Amino acid sequence: QEIEASQAVEISRAVAERQEPATGQTRVKTAASLAPPNTRDPRTTPRPPHTAPDPRDLATRLSALEHLLKDTDDRLSPEVAGEVGRILLRVHERIALSPDHVVTAIAGATGSGKSSLFNALIRFELAPVGAIRPTTTAGLACVWDPDRADGAGALLDRIGVATHNRTLRGSLLDGAHRRAEPELAPLVLIDLPDHDSAVRAHRDETDRAAAAADLLLFVTDPQKYADASWHERYLKQLNYHQQALVVILNKSDELSPQDVQTVAGDLRRLLGEAGLDDVPLLVTSTRTGEGLLELRELIAERVWRKQASLTRSAADVDRAAALIAAELAPRDGYTTPTAALTDEAREATLAAIRDSTSMRALSDLLEATYRRRASAVTGWPLRHAIMTLVSRARGDEEARYAPWTAPVAAEPAPPPVQHDDVEAAVDAAVERVAGALPRAWAKEMRRIGDHCVQTLADTLDATLSGTEVGPRLVPRWWTAVQVLHWMLLTAALVGAGGAVAFGLAGGARDSSLPDTGAVPFPLLVTVFALVAGAVVDALCRPAARRAAAALRGKVAERMAERVRGAAEQLLFAPLIAEYERYIRAWTLARDLTGSGGEREVPLSGGGQGQPTQ
């Protein structure tokens, strides 16, 4: 309803002097306004200190958010990536347009009295008020300062308010009234169509304007304040925009003071359940004027600071970052992502890969081959001759060659890599990294693992096939022992021949030989040579075992290093690079939200007309 000019002047003077209208009493803070939120009078506005963001900080955070979106775009769901992109576009558009204007939109359900509230705020009967629903069929804007009309026009074009639905407030009231409220000069006030209108175009216009407004006044009444539609469709979408939202319980004149207290308390509870504990809640009546002064003061405060657009843009950045943070949050059951392949996990993976290459069997074969070759070269020839004769007598085909004629340069071929075992080892490594990651990142980790399996198996095949598993040349000590054995065998044979000759000569001694008493010298030489050969043979066998074990360890270490190098390059490096990319994105998203993304961040659903479209 229209407010008379004299009453308008009275209210303007009260705003300047902090007095209640028509009472002359100075307005003071009550104990209720200083009490904790859960003990306050629900009609008291819980208004925390309003701190607008630093424009430079907003620019930095906006740039970081763009970088974050670019770095994670292929890991986000299309819905989240699309909405964050729209939010960024909206913020850039708002920053580029007039920063001095404060676009304040009044939204509400059918019959909540928002048009009457619009008229009360501009102090003129501009918006139609009536019993026909919906009364407001298109957005109606009032620009406070005619001198700023050009800048406001661009903002209203962006929101979609038709030119013929725009009014300059200065053309409605005289200059004295304009000068009474200089702090409201940047204000652009919009009366929106009903958010629950049966006409889809009306709902879409409300959603579009609510998403673009610097300050949103949401009006409800005692009958519809608990409707789930506006709580689910709007309030829960705005929990990152608390400094850009005011909830108004209108038509308080229809209730008794006690009922007003009860309804306001229940509405405050519902706001708390939606995560809107810090949103101002005002109780108003356009019939009695209750709460209008507080509402004008609140609007004047936001407008006077000229930072409402920055506050809304900062809240948009918060919500966009929170959407990404929620998408990047660790999977259920995890509070933080697991560490990417700890040293213990790497060693376990490498051990599994080594087992898949049969390195242990290859090392065992190498050791056995070395010992066999060493025995063939450094063993006592007489023992080998006896063993060969025994083996031939048993029909052993491998005994057709004498041990000392066996080829010592032959090397056992590496056994093939077991691809199934490599796949199992890679899958285990991937799950260690991807277990806590969100679905899209875990899927990429598994794609890396799948690509790695065949490449890693082929690389290990080629790498191990080129590994030298034995010495290229016979060790020198083998040659020295072999020469010594043949010298001792020759001495034994010569001594045996001399002993035979001594016997055939009837025991006649050769004066050129030493006198050894009853035992002929040649026989002593034979015995000494045979014993010495057996002793050398006995000493060489443990020496060969130690040398074989040392060679086994050296070759196993060389093969292990090659396996490690292949695994690092083909498996660990890609996994860790992807993991670190995730950690950077997740950390940046948490830093940008300032709360770790712990609040619920519902997406604005397509076709539902959410205000964050």
pLDDT in tens, 387-441: 777 777 776 655 444 444 444 444 555 566 888 888 898 898 888 888 888 888 8
- 512, amino acid identity: S
What average pLDDT score do residues 368-391 get? 80
Spatial neighbors of 387 by CB under 8 A, at least 6 apart, are 403
* Confidence band for 18, pLDDT divided at 50, 70 and 90: very low
Same domain? For 352 and 293 the reply is no
How far is CA 191 from each of CA 28, 116, 163, rounded to the nearest angstrom?
31, 10, 14
Looking at the structure, tell me whether residues 134 and 187 fall in a common domain.
yes
Total domain count for the chain?
A: 2
Do 517 and 577 lie in one domain? The reply is yes
What is the sign, positive or negative, of the torsion defined by CA atoms of 353, 356, 357, 363? positive
Distance between CA atoms of 5 and 14, rounded to whole angstroms? 14
Mean pLDDT of 270-282: 87
Residue 207 has a pLDDT of 78
In a domain, 473, yes or no: yes
Confidence of residue 506 (pLDDT cuts 50, 70, 90): low
Query: Which DSSP symbol is given to 236?
Result: G
Report the chain's mean pLDDT, rounded to a whole number.
Answer: 75
442 and 586 assigned to the same domain: yes
Which of 303, 334, 362 finishes a domain? 303
Domain boundary among 248, 273, 303: 303
Residue 193 placed within a domain: yes
Q: Is the pLDDT of residue 381 over 80?
A: yes
- Domain interval for residue 459: 343-593
How many CA atoms lie within 13 Å of 251's alpha carbon, on the beta-carbon side? 17
Average pLDDT on 511-517 reads 61
Q: What is the pTM of this model?
A: 0.60
**Per-residue model confidence (pLDDT) at position 605:** 42
Q: 10-14, 67-71, 414-418: lowest mean pLDDT where? A: 10-14
At residue 586, what are phi and psi to the nearest 5 degrees? -65, -40
Q: How far apart (Å, rounded) are the C-alpha atoms in residues 323 and 72?
A: 12
- Tell me, yes or no, whether 154 and 226 share the same domain: yes
607 φψ region: left (φ > 0), alpha (ψ -120 to 50), beta (else): left
**Predicted pLDDT at 258:** 92
Q: Residue 4 — pLDDT band, cuts 50, 70, 90?
A: very low
| 321 within 8 A of 593, measured Cβ to Cβ | yes
In sequence order, which ranges of 413-438 are alpha helices (DSSP H)?
419-434
CATH number of the domain bearing residue 112 = 3.40.50.300
* 28 lies in some domain: no
The tokens for 244 are 């850009």
Enter the DSSP assignment of 282: E
User: 244 with 128, same domain?
Assistant: yes
Q: What is the mean pLDDT of residues 599-611?
A: 42
Q: Are residues 347 and 470 in the same domain?
A: yes
Could you tell me if 390 and 496 lie in one domain? yes
H-helix or E-strand containing 88? helix 78-96
| pLDDT for residue 337 is more than 80 | no
- Per-residue pLDDT band for 385 (boundaries 50, 70, 90) equals confident
The pLDDT of residue 413: 57
In a domain, 338, yes or no: no
b/e 547-564 (16+ beta carbons within 10 angstroms → b): bbeebbeebbeebbebbb
Give yes or no for residue 606 having a pLDDT over 60. Answer: no
Taking alpha carbons only, the member of 197, 116, 105 closest to residue 156 is: 105
Asked, for residue 76, whether it belongs to a domain, the answer is: no
Do 347 and 265 sit in the same domain of this protein?
no
Share of the chain above pLDDT 70, in %: 73
Residues 129, 180: one domain?
yes
Considering the domain boundaries, does residue 90 fall inside one? no
- Is 67 among the domain residues? no
Would 318 be classed as within a structural domain? no
- The verdict on 106 and 205 lying in the same domain is yes
Last residue of one domain, picked from the residues 303, 327, 362: 303
The verdict on 284 and 368 lying in the same domain is no
pLDDT of residue 435: 81
